[in-house]
Structure 1
Amino acid sequence: MSELATRRCKPCEGGVPALDLGAAAKLKEQLDGRWKWAREGKAIEAVFAFDNYYQTSAFVNAVVWIAHTSDHHPEISFGYKNCTVSYWTHAVNGLTENDFICAARIDALLA
């Protein structure tokens, strides 16, 4: 598990700036390469592929548990053999450290 995955999310109600691209890029370097920029650099997104619906739904449930325990919630879409997870902090309309912490926790699921 990466050091990033061991950090705790901080409550974010807005009123703080989103990370600038340089700071976000440094955090993104700590994630699996599947995480790509989305929403013109205001979000990160990854696509996960599985062998069947059971594996996909188990993964989705694990991501939901991470979201619940971190109190930081992604956009999730999934089908029979794939799942797309998108993170950004809605309150700041951009990325915060919380997004990268949760993405790192998802990476740890598949390590």
Structure 2
Amino acid sequence: MTELLEQKCVPCTGSLPTATAAEIDTYKKQLPDWNLITENGELRLQRVFQFADFRDALAFTNLVGNLAEEEGHHPALLTEWGKVTVTWWTHAIGGLHHNDFIMAAKSDAAWKAKE
């Protein structure tokens, strides 16, 4: 399987199926720091990134936001003093799609690059 980080998101119109349990298991193995959560009946990927202060948290929020714009796939971002919670899911299908795992991998790469 091609590494998630090297892949691009595909446009999602709502007609694509959600990721299967087997796909989720396979992709999740590449993203050990992400949690699977259920919110409003939808499966989502979530990770909390820690920072020394609000300025660093905000800079990371903007970095993830720029990645999202480049790929045309957008997360929920909660920026607080010293942390950013990033949640990926595909709104149009009400659950997880391959795109969400790609973007989680890109978020991880952005986190590692800042260190």
TM-score by shorter chain over 0.5:
yes
Q: 1:76-96 deviations in whole A, cap 9, x for unaligned? A: 111110110111101111111
Identity %: 35
Instruction: Kindly report structure 1 stretches of 4+ aligned residues shifted beyond 4 Å.
Output: none
In the alignment, the residues of structure 2 paired with residue 105 and residue 9 of structure 1 have an alpha-carbon distance, to the nearest angstrom, of: 11
Which residue is 1:82 aligned to?
83
- Kept after mapping to 2: 8 A contact 1:21/1:41: no
Which residue is 1:109 aligned to?
110
What amino acid maps onto 2:22 in structure 1? G
| Corresponding residue pairs, total | 109
In the alignment, structure 1 residue 73 sits paired with structure 2 residue 77:
no
- Kept after mapping to 1: 8 A contact 2:57/2:81: yes
| TM value normalised by structure 2 | 0.89
Which residue is 2:58 aligned to?
57
Q: Report the aligned-residue RMSD.
A: 1.5
Q: Which runs of 5+ in 1 are unaligned?
A: none
- Kept after mapping to 1: 8 A contact 2:14/2:93: yes
Q: CA deviation at 1:59?
A: 0.3
What amino acid maps onto 2:36 in structure 1? W
What amino acid maps onto 1:17 in structure 2? P
- Report which structure shows greater RCO (CA 8 Å, sep ≥6): 1
SS in 2 for 1:73: coil
Q: Which runs of 5+ in 2 are unaligned?
A: none
Q: 1:23-73 deviations in whole A, cap 9, x for unaligned? A: 111111111x22000116711100011001111011000000011001000
